[in-house]
Structure 1
Amino acid sequence: MSLALCLLILVLPDAALAQDLSLDFGDTGSLANRSVEIILLVTLLSLVPGLAVMVTCFPFVVTVLSILRQALGLQQSPPNMVIVSLALFLTWFVMDPVLTKAWTDGVQPLTEGKIQVEEAIPRIAEPFRGFMANRTDPKTFAELQALRPGETSTLEEAPFSLLVPSFMLSEISRAFQIGFLIYLPFLIIDLVVAAILMAMGMMMVPPAVVSLPFKLAFFVVANGWTLISSALVRSYTGG
């Protein structure tokens, strides 16, 4: 709930937040205007899941887990729902300090009437900005910034329109690097099995079918899911 509210306030215009969205159709607005406001509010609420993907570690985590499933040679196991759910809860675990700071510094004082919207929005955005700036590759940021001639800014001061795509591209690139390292041991198992089958003259037997049990056994013995998940979390917490 706190994630949704924080991200919603980040994208809501000041004017929209300042307006009363009650259904009082008196002198303050017509039925058509109120209907448009409600439609816009519902639309913004529907964008919250997408915003959560953009400004959190979810792209990195779900990409690594998806590559891991492909490396195991499994197409639908675990199902997509399980992969996404695990990625969401790992994201929640990693992002909890950021969400807590955004809530205590911005959302809670705003809901209690201690600060105005104009002051709350920078307070809510600051933890997310710091998180993304720390994870953004400076080279990727510089390449995107070069597409805006005459505009110069640092990672800490960059607009979200520049910082968010730089952050997402950096996370996806880092996820593929980790995915390459994850893929190697399973690739070695495939090659060894294929060489053994060829030496035995069993060329008609698909190597992937024979190697799958060995890859699963290797992954289970290594406690792979816990090992990978803890490594992903430590990459953010530095533990």
Structure 2
Amino acid sequence: MTRTARLLTCLALAGISLCAAPAMAQEAGPFLDGLTGILSDAPAGSDDRAELSGRIIQLIGLFTILSVAPGLLVVMTSFTRFVIVFSILRSALGLNQTPPNMVISAMALFMTFFVMQPVLVAAWEDGLEPLLQNSIDEEQAVPRIGAPFKTFMFANTRPKDLGLFMDIAARSEGAPADVEVEIPATAEDAPWRALVPAFMISELRRAFTIGFLIYLPFVAIDLIIASILMSAGMMMLPPVLISLPFKVIFFVLIDGWYMLAGSLMESYLPPVGG
């Protein structure tokens, strides 16, 4: 798409938004007027006003959770490891846009759902479902919903990484620098502020380690092809142009997608299963 086409598209979207804004405001007017009337008619401290205020707060909280859901998906699940490994594999093969980013993200997303299914089921049964049935309140539901994710992250976090953030958190709270901070032994004892970033750097370390092991055979193929071309006197011919089909057929012959996807998911199965 050229710059002119992009500019015209942006102007069209802006015009549609400006035209639709009065209609949206007109439709929302009766609802806001009714809500204002209910709040003004209800006496201060009444049960109706308190219940309505609670519903409004729940609605705002729901919108907030939906807005940060993509970030939570990245930092508290196996999505990070999957998408990084697939991106490194694409670079190792020498394919810049194949598979495209949409395919890599979708594959990593559905593999994440597969691995995280026990965690999601536990969060639903222990916290979210009782909350929707009004069996428990929000204060009881939030720890129950977060407990399975906390257990999953704790099982896949290196103690060294967790100790780093625990030490920094203790120093920020005024603890002496020479005092050794005790690393939590269970997921319940690990604070969120230290567990989440520790889990992230642990996932990044494992993803780059797997990416390094993936790169080695393809680098060997590049070196072999470059040596053959050099010995044949074809120094002007790019080695990548010749090695690319060999790397692709090598990955296909060893059933690389099957091996890689299976290995990535199996690396999480023991912690998730308990």
CA shift for structure 1 position 41: 4.7
Cα distance in 2 for partners of 1:164, 1:216 equals 37
Report the TM-score, using the length of structure 1 for normalisation.
0.83
Structure 1 36/83 Cα, relative in aligned 2: closer, same or farther at 3 Å?
same
Partner Cα distance (1:39, 1:115) in 2: 20
SS in structure 1 of the partner of residue 267 of structure 2: helix
Residues 115, 41 of structure 1: alpha-carbon distance in 2 compared, 3 angstrom cutoff: closer
Equivalent AA in structure 2 for residue 128 of structure 1: F
Q: 1:14-53 residue pairs with structure 2 within 5 A?
A: 24-25=35-36, 26-27=39-40, 28=49, 41-53=62-74
Residue 152 (structure 1) shift: 5.1
Are 2:140 and 1:129 equivalent residues in the alignment?
no
**2:11: which partner in 1?**
none
Query: Aligned match of 1:140 in 141, 157, 161?
Result: 161
Question: What secondary structure, in the 3-state scheme, does the structure 1 residue paired with 2:95 have?
Answer: coil
112-121 vs 84-93, which moves further = 112-121
Shift of 1:160: 1.1
Aligned to 1:82, the other structure's residue is in SS state: helix
| Contact persistence 2:163–2:183 (CA under 8 A) | no
Offset at 1:140?
1.1
Q: Which residue is equivalent to 1:166?
A: 198
Equivalents in 1 of 2:213, 2:81: separation in Å?
15
1:213 is aligned to: 245
Q: Output the CA distance in 1 between the equivalents of 2:243 and 2:146.
A: 48
Larger mean Cα displacement after TM superposition, 117-126 or 208-217: 117-126
1:70 aligns with 2:91: yes
What is residue 59 of structure 1 aligned with on the other side?
80
Counterparts of 1:41 and 1:92 in 2: how far apart (Å)? 21
Unaligned runs of 5+ in 1: 1-22
Determine helix, strand or coil for the equivalent of 2:96: coil
Whether the 8 Å CA contact 2:159–2:183 is kept in 1: the answer is no
Give the Å deviation of 1:42: 3.1
State the match for 2:13 in structure 1. none
Give the number of aligned pairs: 213
For residue 205 of structure 1, give the secondary structure of its aligned residue in structure 2: coil
- C-alpha distance in 1 between matches for 2:220 and 2:267: 26
Matches within 5 A, 1:95-110: 95-110=116-131
**Which residue does the alignment assign to 2:44?**
none
Question: C-alpha displacement at 1:231, in angstroms?
Answer: 0.6
Q: Aligned partner of 1:87: which letter? A: A
2:211 is matched with 179
- What percentage of residue pairs aligned between the two structures are identical? 50
1:200 aligned onto 2:232: yes
Q: Secondary structure at the match of 2:268?
A: helix
Higher Rg of the two aligned structures: 2
